[in-house]
C-alpha cells in the first residue's frame, strides 16, 4: 500500500466535519468552533471556496492557527482562483507551518463560477491534467523542509476518478448517494483515499427536513456537472428538475442522529475511507455544535475505528514527499 495514502487515512480518521457555516463567522468564532469539533472527536474540518467566500489558503491558515490538532482540508480550492504555481506554493507553505494537518482538495469548479471570475471554463479532464502538470513543475524557493501536502481531486465521473487515482492521493466526491461511493471505490481501486461528503438534516419532521434539504439541493441540481453525475447514476430528468423525494432522500439523509449515523456507516461500508459530514439547518450560518454532538454520540465506535485500510499515524511531514 502507498505510504502517503495510508498516512492520509490515519490523518483524516473515519469522520470529519464539512461546513459552509464556518466562513460566515469572524475568525475567532470559527476557530472556537473548529476547536470544539476537535474536542468532539471529529478529526478533520472541511470548507469550500466559492465566489464571495473566504479565500481558501488564508481561510485554512485561520482555522489551523485556532486549533492545535484538527486537520483542515479544502473542499475544494478552485483551480481557476489561482495559477498552478500559486496553488503549489500555498499548499507547501501551510504544510510546512502545520505538519500533517493540511489536506489540499482541488477541483475544476463550474462554468458559471469561472465566468464570474472572468475566466473561460475548459474541458474538465484536460484542464485538470494540464494544471497538475504545472503544479508538479512549479518552482519552490521556500524552506527545503516544506514537503507537498496530500492532494485530493474533486471527482464525480469515471475519468476524473481515474485521474485522482493516477495523479493524486485520492478523490473527494460531493453531493452523492451511497451508490456513487460504491462505484467510486471500484473505479479508484483499493489504494487511493476516498473522502466523501455527506449532507444531513437533523430533523424528524419529514416535511420540514425535506424543505431544508430541497432548498440546499437546488443549487447543485441546477449545475451541469452534478446533474450529469446523477443521470449517470440512473436519476431521471424529472427527478433532477423537480428535486424528487427519491433523489433528495438518497443524497441528503434526514431524521434523528441514529439515521444520520446509519448513512455515514453506509458510505464507509460502501468503500469510503473518510466521511466529511455536512449538517444543514434552516439557518445557513448555524455551526451546528449541538447537532454534531448528537451525531457523534450516535456514531459511537465509528468515530474511533479506521476502515479496512488501517494504518498507524506516522510522525513527520516527510511522508508527503
**pLDDT tens per residue across span 228-284:** 999 999 999 999 999 999 999 999 999 999 999 999 999 999 999 999 999 999 999
312 has a pLDDT exceeding 50: no
Average pLDDT (197-218) is: 97
Q: How far is CA 276 from CA 26, 73, 144, 180, 314, in A?
A: 22, 10, 32, 15, 22
Mean pLDDT, rounded, for 46-51: 95
CATH superfamily of this structure's domain 3-310 = Luciferase-like domain (3.20.20.30)
CB-CB contact of 229 with 177 (8 Å): no
Model's pTM, two decimal places? 0.94
The CA-based diameter of the chain, rounded to the nearest angstrom, is: 56
The helices-and-strands tally (H runs, E runs) of the chain is 14, 10
Q: What percent of the chain has pLDDT over 90?
A: 88
Q: At which residue does the C-alpha cell 461528503 appear?
A: 197
Cell numbers 484542464: residue: 127
Domain definitions of the chain by residue range: 3-310
The 3-state DSSP class for residue 295 equals helix
Amino acid at each position: 500500500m502507498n505510504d502517503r495514502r495510508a498516512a492520509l487515512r490515519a490523518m483524516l480518521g473515519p469522520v470529519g466535519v464539512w461546513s459552509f457555516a464556518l466562513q460566515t463567522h469572524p475568525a475567532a468564532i470559527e476557530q472556537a468552533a473548529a476547536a470544539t469539533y476537535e474536542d468532539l472527536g471529529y478529526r478533520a474540518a472541511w470548507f469550500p471556496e466559492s465566489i464571495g467566500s473566504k479565500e481558501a489558503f488564508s481561510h485554512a491558515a485561520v482555522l489551523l492557527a485556532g486549533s492545535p490538532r484538527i486537520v483542515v482540508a479544502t473542499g475544494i480550492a478552485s483551480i481557476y482562483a489561482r495559477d498552478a504555481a500559486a496553488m503549489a506554493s500555498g499548499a507547501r507553505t501551510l504544510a510546512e507551518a502545520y505538519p500533517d494537518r493540511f489536506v489540499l482538495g482541488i477541483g475544476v469548479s463550474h462554468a458559471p463560477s469561472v465566468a464570474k471570475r472572468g475566466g473561460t471554463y475548459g474541458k474538465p479532464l484536460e484542464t485538470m491534467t494540464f494544471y497538475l502538470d504545472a503544479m508538479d513543475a512549479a518552482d519552490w524557493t521556500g524552506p527545503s523542509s516544506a514537503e507537498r501536502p496530500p492532494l485530493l481531486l474533486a471527482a464525480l465521473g469515471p475519468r476524473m476518478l481515474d485521474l485522482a487515482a493516477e495523479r493524486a492521493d485520492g478523490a473527494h466526491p460531493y453531493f452523492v448517494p451511497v451508490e456513487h461511493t460504491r462505484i467510486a471505490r471500484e473505479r479508484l481501486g483499493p489504494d487511493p483515499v476516498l473522502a466523501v461528503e455527506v449532507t444531513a438534516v437533523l430533523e424528524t419532521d419529514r416535511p420540514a427536513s425535506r424543505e431544508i434539504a430541497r432548498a440546499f439541493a437546488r443549487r447543485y441540481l441546477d449545475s451541469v456537472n452534478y446533474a450529469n453525475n446523477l443521470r449517470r447514476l440512473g436519476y431521471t430528468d424529472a427527478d433532477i428538475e423537480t428535486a424528487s423525494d427519491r433523489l433528495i432522500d438518497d443524497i441528503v439523509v434526514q431524521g434523528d442522529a441514529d439515521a444520520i449515523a446509519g448513512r455515514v456507516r453506509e458510505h464507509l461500508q460502501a468503500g469510503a475511507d473518510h466521511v466529511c459530514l455536512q449538517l444543514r439547518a434552516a439557518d445557513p450560518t448555524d455551526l451546528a455544535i449541538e447537532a454534531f454532538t448528537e451525531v457523534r454520540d450516535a456514531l459511537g465506535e465509528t468515530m474511533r475505528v479506521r476502515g479496512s485500510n488501517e494504518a498507524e499515524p506516522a510522525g513527520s511531514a516527510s511522508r508527503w514527499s
